[in-house]
Amino acid sequence: MPRRSARPQPDRTVDLPTHTRDCPACGRVLWAANKPRRTVVTLDGLVQLRLQVRSCRNPECPRHRACLRPEQEGRFALPQHEFGLDVVALVGVLRHAEHRSIPEIHAELVRRGVPICARSVGNLLDRYDELLALSCSDVERLKAVTAKAGRVVLAIDGLQPDVGHEVLWVIRDVLSGEVLLARSLLSSSQDDLAKLLGAVKGALPTPIVGVVSDGQASIRKAVAQPLDGVPHQLCHFHYLREAALPVYEADRHAKVQLKKKVRGIRPIERKIEGRQDPEAESIRGYCAAVRSALTDDGRPPLEASGLKLRDRLAKVADSLDRVGAKRGSRRN
C-alpha cells in the first residue's frame, strides 16, 4: 500500500564521518566520494544521518571506487532499512516476551509516536528473528557466557506467531539468561526437538545439570534422548497453574453465582434516565461501579477473579449501607 501521508520531518541531525582514511587494500588516501543523507525512525523520533562516504581512486587497486561508509552507521539501523535497531528490539520483546499480536505491537508503536504500518511490523519481526539466530550461532561467545557459572540449566519453549505457521523453538540458559539456540520448525516431533537439544549439548563444554519446560509430552520424551539422567521439571508458572486448577474452578463457579445476584443494573439505570438530581447521579455512580466490578477479570492462578469480584461488591454494599445509615439518622 502506498504512503498516504507525508513523512514527518526529522527531529535532529547527526553527522557521521568515516574514520578510515587509508584504503585497506592499497594503503592510499581515500577520497571523499559523496555525502548522502539517510532518515532513520527511532523510538526517540526521526534522526537524519549525514554520512561521509569515501572511496579509493587508484585504478590498480582491487577496491577501486568501492564505497566505504561510516563505521557508526551500523549502530543506528540495518543496511537499507528505515527503522532503527531500538525499534526492531522493541518489536521482538513485545512479540516473544509479552506474546502480543502484530496488531497489538502496531498499536503500541503508534502510541509511542513511531510512524509505522502493520505490514512493516511483520517485516521487523522477521529481522529480529534473523538477528537472534545470528547471535545464537556465535559458539565462542556462548561458551564464555556459560562458563562463568560452571553449569547450565536449559529452558526450552516453543513460540507460534500464528496458527498453522512454523514454531520458533528457543533454548536458553536459565542462569545467564542467554539464548543458546533459536530455530523455526514445521513440526514439533520428539526427534526434531531431540536434535536441537543434542546440538546445544555438543556445542557447550559446560555440563547441563537441569532442564525446565512445560508439560508437553514431546518435550519430555525429547529431553530423555540426548540428556538421559538430567533432572527435568516443569517451570514455576506451569507448575503453579496445574496445582491451582481446583482452586481456579471453585473460584470461577463462585464468580458465576455472584454475577447472577447482581444482574439487573440496566433496568435501574432506565428508571433514572433524564434525571439530573444528586440522587440520580449517585445511583449512576453505583451502577458504574458494579458494572466495572463485573467486567474486571483476574489473571489466574495468581489473581482469583471471583475473590476480586466479591471484595469489590462488598465495598459497594458497605458504601450503600453507610449512605442508608446517614439518611436514616437525618430523618430521625
Taking only the tens place, the pLDDT of each residue in 237-270 is 666 777 777 877 887 788 888 787 777 777 887 8
> What value does the CA radius of gyration of the chain take, rounded to a whole number of Å?
30
Largest CA distance in the chain: 109
Of 69, 90, 91, nearest to 80 by C-alpha is: 69
- Which amino acid type is present at position 156? I
Query: What kind and span of H or E run contains 324?
Result: helix 305-331
What is residue 184's predicted lDDT score, i.e. its pLDDT? Answer: 75
Distance CA 41, CA 82 (A): 6
pLDDT surpassing 60 at residue 163 = no
Looking at the chain, the whole-number percentage of residues with pLDDT higher than 70 is: 89
- Position 283, amino acid: I
pLDDT at 293 over 60: yes
CA 58 to chain centre: 49
Please tell me the predicted confidence (pLDDT) of residue 108.
92
Distance, CA of 259 to CA of 150 (rounded, Å): 54
**Cell 562516504 belongs to which residue?**
53
Full-prediction pTM beyond 0.75? no
CB 152 within 8 A of CB 144: no
CB neighbours (10 Å) of residue 227? 19
Mean pLDDT of 314-330: 76
In the numeric block, the cell 445511583 is attached to 283
Residue type, position 6, single letter: A
| Average pLDDT of the segment spanning 82-88 | 90
Identify the band that residue 332 occupies on the pLDDT scale cut at 50, 70 and 90: very low
SS3 content of the chain, % helix, strand, coil (to 5): 45, 20, 35
Among 81, 72, 7, which residue's Cα sits nearest to residue 38? 81
Which of 48, 50, 49 is closest to 10 using CA atoms?
Answer: 48
State the Cα–Cα distance between residues 310 and 276, nearest whole angstrom.
30
The helix (H) or strand (E) run that includes residue 255 is helix 245-262
In this predicted model, what pLDDT tens digit does every residue of 99-130 receive, in sequence order?
A: 888 999 999 999 998 999 889 999 999 888 88
Its sign, for the CA torsion 259, 260, 264, 266, is: positive
pLDDT mean over 164-191: 78
| Beta strands in the chain, from DSSP E residues, in sequence order | 12-16, 31-34, 37-42, 45-51, 53-55, 67-68, 152-159, 167-173, 179-185, 208-213, 232-234
SS3 86: helix
Among 84-88, 194-198, 272-276, the minimum mean pLDDT is found in 272-276
Which residue in 145, 131, 32, 35 sits closest to 83, CA to CA? 131
pLDDT at residue 2, as a whole number: 55
